[in-house]
Amino acid sequence: MNHRPRKRFGQHFLHDPNILEKMVRAIAPRADQQLVEIGPGQGALTLPLLKAAHRLTAIELDRDLLAPLQTAAAPWGALTLHNVDALRFDFTQLSSQGQPLRVVGNLPYNISTPLIFHLLAQASAIEDMHFLLQKEVVERLAAAPGSKTFGRLSVMVQYRCAVEPLFDVAPGAFKPPPKVASSFVRLTPFQPQRHVAVDEPLFERVVQAAFAQRRKTLRKSLQPLLTHLDFNAAAIDPGLRPEQLTIEDFVRLSNSRSSAPIGD
């Protein structure tokens, strides 16, 4: 397929056959599953997935890639293409008869974080996600409490998903090669949730406010949202900094506020 990668779409096409084989093995696609690929590009991952599963839905923003993809896929299975922005796409509409989605993709670095948040909001319709991302992003996704990389992204993703980094990918595996290393990661939504925030918008605001000023203590960064009574109810020291809390701590802290009497 003769297509020049476009910078505005963040296109870095994967071409290393060994990496592609490892990715397909990790995904382990089957014909009875609902596979969805984000950003199929030139079809490097699309075609081996189709060979294994015989059907695939793909979300591709670059319209110039649609016809060549459809032609290349024809011998291997049924490819359904949606020429839309994945950041605005309702993935739940693809989950037919309650069958959860298996979402995969080599995600453009410039949209990976907002796209993950977009998918987390639809996690009830997703079985798992396999993404090739900037290595630094995967490190943040998987970071443990107490580490320098543990932050808002870590909390919000680990609240909904188990995070499993699988393997690293060097820049030379792409055309054109990016300036940074990549990692392949598996995100598996918890079904059911391990920890449940009673008021999820409040939980999100608490996490965001805490890490927006991560050098400050929770007492200071969360002052507009929580009182000392909320910290007492959650049994959390307000003198701690946000990276010292676990996912469960953040949930308990937001639940202490959402369960407080009106007017408190």
| pLDDT tens-digit readout, 27-84 | 999 999 999 999 998 899 999 999 999 999 999 998 988 999 999 999 999 999 999 9
pLDDT level of residue 258 (50, 70, 90 thresholds): low
For range 250-254, the mean pLDDT? 96
**pLDDT mean across residues, the chain:** 91
pLDDT at 153: 97
Please state, in angstroms and rounded to a whole number, the distance separating the CA atoms of residues 185 and 165.
Answer: 4
Task: Tell me the C-alpha distance between 47 and 77, whole Å.
Answer: 9
Res 236 pLDDT > 90? yes
Greater model confidence, 222 or 108: 222
Closest CA to 148 of 248, 245, 243: 243
Provide the pLDDT confidence category of residue 10 given band limits of 50, 70 and 90.
very low
For residue 156, is pLDDT > 80?
yes
Q: Is residue 199 predicted with pLDDT exceeding 60?
A: yes
Q: What is the model's pLDDT at position 3? A: 43
* Whether 142 contacts 149, CB under 8 Å: no
Q: Which domains does the chain have, with CATH numbers?
A: 7-189 (3.40.50.150), 200-258 (1.10.8.100)
Sign of CA dihedral 199, 204, 207, 209: negative
pLDDT in tens, 123-134: 999 999 999 999
The pLDDT of residue 251 is above 80 = yes
Token pair 């995967």 is found at: 138
Confidence of residue 7 (pLDDT cuts 50, 70, 90): very low
What pLDDT was estimated at residue 34? 94
* Range 114-119 average pLDDT: 96
The single-letter code of the amino acid at 228 is H
Q: What is the pLDDT of residue 262?
A: 44
Q: Alpha helices, DSSP H only, in 107-181?
A: 112-120, 135-142, 152-160
CA distance 19 to 21: 5
Confidence class for position 264, pLDDT limits 50, 70, 90:
very low
Q: 23 by DSSP, 3-state: which?
A: helix
C-alpha dihedral sign at 62, 87, 108, 184: negative
Mean per-residue pLDDT, 12-37:
92
Structural contact between residues 160 and 189, judged by C-beta atoms closer than 8 angstroms: yes
Tokens of 244: 């010292």
pTM attached to this predicted model: 0.91
Residue 139 has pLDDT above 90, yes or no: yes
Please, which pLDDT band fits residue 95 given cuts at 50, 70 and 90? confident
* Distances from the Cα of 211 to the Cα of 149, 154, 241, angstroms: 11, 11, 9
What pLDDT is stored for residue 179 in this prediction?
Answer: 85
Q: Which residues pair with 128 in a beta bridge?
A: 102
**Window from 7-11, 137-141, 176-180 with minimum mean pLDDT:** 7-11
Q: Compute CA distances 11 → 88, 104, 109, 129, whole Å.
A: 19, 16, 9, 20
179 against 127, higher pLDDT: 127
Nearest to 46 by CA among 18, 63, 24: 24
- Contact assessment for residue 61 and residue 108, using Cβ atoms and an 8 Å cutoff: no
The predicted pLDDT at position 98 comes to 75
Please measure the distance between the N-terminal and C-terminal CA atoms of the chain and give it in whole angstroms. Answer: 63
